[in-house]
């Protein structure tokens, strides 16, 4: 059963609005099938072939949802899930455990380690998609209309006001739109080109270096002199709003 109105593709017009799914799976054939189907349904797909790689990918580019195979080389899916839940910035990351085991006892164990849901192999693609969408709907904190919040920053979009820890932050119009976009997708890394598309618009032609200038101004304004730097620079990749700078 497909709910057309909640398909990811319907939520935004740019590719940036597509949810990113990390597929953690050591069987290449399953990865291929998942990638094909998920991309067809409007998701972006990232891959990891073992548990250690999964944690690295999550740290580098936090997905919106993780499809986590139970039986993995190096580190089991259960251990990966534990680590995801242990880290402050991925504590709320939606995780669906994929398991070949059918015993209820095992599924319960998976949920106890912090998975939000589980599905057993071989799974039906429609059933998986329905669960993914349900989970994304729950986890995508629908912002109070016209208001965004991240860490100690709040943005009142209607009043065009930004506060950090109660202190008023004054931003130019471009920095305001840049922050608004980053706050809509916290922890996700965007390249300069993606930021140009999203903030300046695809028809505006400016140098990618322009983004650096505005990021620098944004960082200066929101960070003040002593506060935690919430703008993460990822070498050769881009920028993200994050509480962990590295």
- Residue 23 or 179: which CB sits closer to Ca ion? 23
Q: Shortest approach of Ca ion to residue 103 CB, angstroms? A: 16
Tell me which stretch binds Ca ion (CB under 5 A): 37-45, 54-62, 65-73, 209-217.
65-73
Q: Shortest approach of Ca ion to residue 26 CB, angstroms? A: 5
Choosing from 26, 46, 180, 227, the residue that interacts with Ca ion (CB under 5 A) is: 26
194: contact with Ca ion by CB under 5 A: no
50: contact with Ca ion by CB under 5 A: no
Residues in 68-127 at the binding interface with Ca ion, rule: CB under 5 A: 69, 71
Among all chains, which residue has been given the structure tokens 């580098």?
A: 60
Nearest Cα neighbor of 48 from 37, 63, 78 is 63
Q: Shortest approach of Ca ion to residue 77 CB, angstroms? A: 8
| DSSP string across 2-52 | --GGG-HHHH-SSGGGSPEEEEE-S-HHHHHHHHHHHHHTT-EEEEESSHH
Contact indicator for 69, 31 with CB cutoff of 8 Å: no
Q: Shortest approach of Ca ion to residue 152 CB, angstroms? A: 41
Residue 214 sits at the vertex; the CA angle it makes with 44 and 245, to the nearest 5 degrees, is 60
Tell me which stretch binds Ca ion (CB under 5 A): 19-27, 114-122, 133-141, 152-160.
19-27
Q: Shortest Cβ contact with Ca ion: which residue?
A: 71
- Residue 69 or 116: which CB sits closer to Ca ion? 69
Tell me which stretch binds Ca ion (CB under 5 A): 7-15, 22-30, 37-45, 58-66.
22-30
Residue 81 sits at the vertex; the CA angle it makes with 80 and 82, to the nearest 5 degrees, is 90
Using CA atoms, how far apart are residues 147 and 167, in angstroms rounded to an integer?
Answer: 16
Contact indicator for 78, 109 with CB cutoff of 8 Å: yes
Tell me which stretch binds Ca ion (CB under 5 A): 26-34, 53-61, 88-96, 194-202.
26-34
- Residue 48 or 231: which CB sits closer to Ca ion? 48
Q: Shortest approach of Ca ion to residue 37 CB, angstroms? A: 18
Q: Shortest approach of Ca ion to residue 198 CB, angstroms? A: 36
Using CA atoms, how far apart are residues 199 and 179, in angstroms rounded to an integer?
Answer: 9
47: contact with Ca ion by CB under 5 A: no
Contact indicator for 66, 37 with CB cutoff of 8 Å: no
**116: its two tokens:** 């939000």
User: Virtual CA dihedral for 222, 224, 230, 231, nearest 10 degrees?
Assistant: 70
Q: Shortest approach of Ca ion to residue 31 CB, angstroms? A: 10
**Which positions touch Ca ion (CB under 5 A)?**
26, 69, 71
């Amino acid at each position: 059963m497909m709910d057309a109105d909640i398909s990811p593709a319907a939520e935004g017009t740019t590719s940036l609005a597509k949810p990113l799914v990390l597929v953690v799976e050591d069987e290449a054939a399953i990865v291929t099938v998942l990638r094909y189907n998920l991309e067809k349904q409007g998701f972006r797909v990232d891959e990891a072939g073992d548990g250690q790689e999964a944690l690295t990918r999550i740290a580098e580019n936090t997905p919106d949802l993780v499809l986590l195979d139970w039986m993995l080389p190096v580190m089991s899916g259960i251990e990966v899930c534990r680590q995801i839940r242990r880290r402050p910035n991925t504590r709320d990351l939606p995780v669906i455990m994929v398991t070949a085991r059918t015993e209820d006892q095992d599924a319960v164990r998976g949920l106890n380690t912090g998975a939000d849901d589980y599905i057993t192999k071989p799974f039906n693609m429609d059933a998986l998609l329905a669960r993914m969408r349900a989970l994304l709907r729950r986890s995508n904190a629908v912002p109070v209309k016209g208001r965004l919040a991240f860490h100690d920053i709040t943005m009142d979009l209607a009043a065009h006001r930004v506060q950090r820890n109660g202190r008023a932050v004054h931003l130019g119009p471009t920095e305001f739109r840049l922050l608004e976009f980053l706050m809509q997708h916290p922890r996700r890394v965007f390249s300069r080109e993606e930021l140009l598309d999203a903030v300046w618009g695809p028809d505006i032609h400016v140098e990618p270096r322009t983004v650096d200038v505005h990021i620098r101004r944004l960082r200066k304004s929101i960070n003040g002199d002593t506060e935690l730097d919430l703008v993460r620079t990822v070498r050769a990749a881009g920028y993200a709003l994050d509480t962990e700078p590295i």
